[in-house]
DNA sequence: GAGTGGTCTAGACCACATC
DNA sequence: ATGTGGTCTAGACCACTCT
């Protein structure tokens, strides 16, 4: 494991376990370097992760301080379910596979996945539940030559785990687009919506670290249940 | 200006001007270092910005490649209007000030701004237009002692510009939460919604680089017009 | 094997807050 | 004045791809 990741994980754990609490000044960079036996730049890289995640703030001339993470309610991170700090909180996620087939890409899907028209791709529809309450309907397209040998039991758990652990591919980033539209009978059925009620859609194009697109997906949520959290760097 | 920011801006411009086009391999890191007269680490820092913004992808052993930024439609970045690459595209943003007063923080606002109950804060409601079409209703709370001397003409343009250029404070990050609710007459009036139609809300707590919270805001959008784009690092 | 990008170190210098 | 975190450099070593 990389040193700066290990250090970041360790410090994050300490914040989560209240060894460092809200408002507290962390040891100075130089002290942390000695504590973790690393160089200044490596410590900067580790702490930069925690800044990005919103756990700490660094002030030149002053020090590094723990931010108020109590304002972050982890249960609401349904749309960033695969990202680091919160993934483990979702033990009771179940998936019902509504559709699992191989189709040929039309122009729209081909442009999103950046494959050729008529290339073979998986077409997957899953209804997902947290604590037996429906919380999303997920429509997923994946090129069959990027993600081979997908089976239905992978869908019932996590496709991402199959990709990372079994295929040994590295998932890098997702470009997400959040929009809202009036529901059709499909969303009404699986999200328990009434006619004319809208749903929230999170469209995603997901990349491997190689730059290859492996997924185009649409996660659809009941408009009343939806919460999406993100930290944006400004200025 | 910082060297790595300058370099990132320059390379981003070249991509936007099609000097580097989709799929093209950029010069190797070492060549770019010579071209921009900088060190390896500085170039890494510059290119990391463009990776995060989704402009390029780097492949170990191979090179750095331009990603398909045509899938990113800048006009849709209404909710990240203040972030770097797209801010300049919004020349025709107008604000109508609906409310501008100083009130005392109740428990809810005080907890969001992390100030004391009954501290004085600005209460601002603005209706914003792009190309004379209503696109958001923004409700903003700011502690008066963090952002002093705010005047109505600041509200009609950009509060952020007043904070950064006049007060000389550095804006760092925003914690955004996106949700949806049924509209009240307020949203119906300013977003041209019908009864029982929902709106999309982007709640934000915004931080200065000092770690001080300077803003709690709610941007409300018509559900049909709303698009929010973000890039999430996975895995 | 050669060359790429990624990690890590050591150290200089700077901007900023006040330990 | 001292010490903080931020930037930049120079160089070693590693993992990975293929020029």
Please name which of B25, B211, B228, B213 lies closest in space to residue B111, comparing C-alpha atoms. B213
Counting residues of chain A whose pLDDT is more than 70, the rounded percentage is 87
pLDDT of residue A134: 86
Report the gap between the CA of A66 and the closest CA in chain B (Å): 10
Residue B192 in tokens:
């041209």
pLDDT of residue A84: 31
Average pLDDT, chain A: 83
A-to-B residue pairs, Cβ atoms closer than 8 angstroms: 145
User: Is the model more confident about A20 or about A84?
Assistant: A20
A29-49 pLDDT per residue, tens: 999 999 999 999 999 999 998
Report the gap between the CA of A96 and the closest CA in chain B (Å): 24
A58-92 pLDDT per residue, tens: 988 999 999 865 444 333 332 333 333 333 444 56
- For B206, the closest of A54, A230, A234 (CB atoms) is A234
Residues of chain B with pLDDT under 50: 70-90
**Cβ contacts of A141 within 8 Å, gap of 6 or more:** A105, A109, A112, A113, A121, A122, A123, A124, A215, A216, A217
pLDDT of residue B161: 81
Chain A residues touching B65 at Cβ < 8 A = 211
Residue B159 in tokens:
């509060």
Residue B158 DSSP one-character state? -
Kindly report which amino acid residue has its CA closest to the C1' atom of nucleotide D17.
B61
Top residue of B173, B199, B205, B207 to mutate, by most chain A CBs within 10 Å, is B173
pLDDT of residue B63: 94
Top residue of A187, A230, A231, A233 to mutate, by most chain B CBs within 10 Å, is A230
pLDDT of residue A54: 77
pLDDT of residue B150: 92
pLDDT of residue A72: 43
Flag whether pLDDT at A53 surpasses 90: no
Report the gap between the CA of A13 and the closest CA in chain B (Å): 18
pLDDT of residue B37: 95
Chain B residues touching A224 at Cβ < 8 A = 180-181
Counting residues of chain B whose pLDDT is more than 90, the rounded percentage is 46
Q: How far is the CA of B158 from the C1' of C12 (A)?
A: 40
Contact predicate A57/A95, CB 8 Å: no
**Which of A96-110, A112-126, B82-96 is the least confident region?**
B82-96
pLDDT of residue B94: 76
With helix as H, strand as E and coil as C, how does chain A read? CCHHHHHHHHHHHHHHCCCCCCCCECCCHHHHHHHCCCCHHHHHHHHHHHHHCCCEEEECCCEEEECCHHHCCHHHCHHHCCCHHHHHHCCCEEEEEEEEEEEECCHHHHHHHCCCCCCEEEEEEEEEEECCEEEEEEEEEEECCCCCCCCHHHHHCCHHHHHHHHCCCCEEEEEEEEEEEECCHHHHHHHCCCCCCEEEEEEEEEEECCCCEEEEEEEEEECCCCCEEEEEECC
Assign A169 a pLDDT band (cuts: 50, 70, 90): confident
> How many whole angstroms separate alpha carbon A225 and alpha carbon A62?
41
């Amino acid at each position: 494991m990389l040193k700066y990741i290990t250090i970041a994980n360790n410090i994050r754990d300490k914040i989560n376990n209240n060894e460092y609490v809200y408002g507290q000044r962390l040891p100075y960079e130089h002290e942390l370097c000695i504590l973790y036996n690393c160089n200044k730049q490596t410590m900067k890289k580790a702490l930069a992760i925690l800044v990005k995640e919103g756990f700490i703030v660094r002030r030149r001339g002053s020090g590094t301080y723990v931010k108020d993470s109590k304002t972050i309610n982890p249960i609401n991170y349904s749309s960033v379910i695969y990202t680091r700090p919160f993934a483990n909180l979702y033990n009771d996620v179940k998936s019902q596979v509504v559709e699992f087939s191989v189709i040929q890409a039309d122009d729209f899907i081909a442009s999103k996945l950046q494959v050729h028209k008529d290339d073979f791709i998986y077409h997957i529809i899953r209804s997902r539940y947290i604590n037996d309450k429906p919380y999303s309907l997920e429509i997923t397209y994946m090129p069959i030559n990027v993600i081979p040998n997908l089976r239905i039991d992978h869908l019932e758990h996590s496709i991402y785990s199959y990709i990372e652990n079994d295929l040994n591919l590295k998932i890098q980033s997702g470009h997400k687009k959040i929009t809202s539209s009036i529901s059709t009978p499909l969303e009404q059925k699986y999200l328990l919506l009434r006619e004319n009620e809208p749903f929230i859609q999170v469209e995603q194009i997901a990349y491997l670290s190689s730059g290859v697109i492996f997924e185009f997906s649409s996660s659809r949520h009941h408009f009343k249940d939806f919460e999406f959290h993100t930290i944006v760097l400004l200025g």
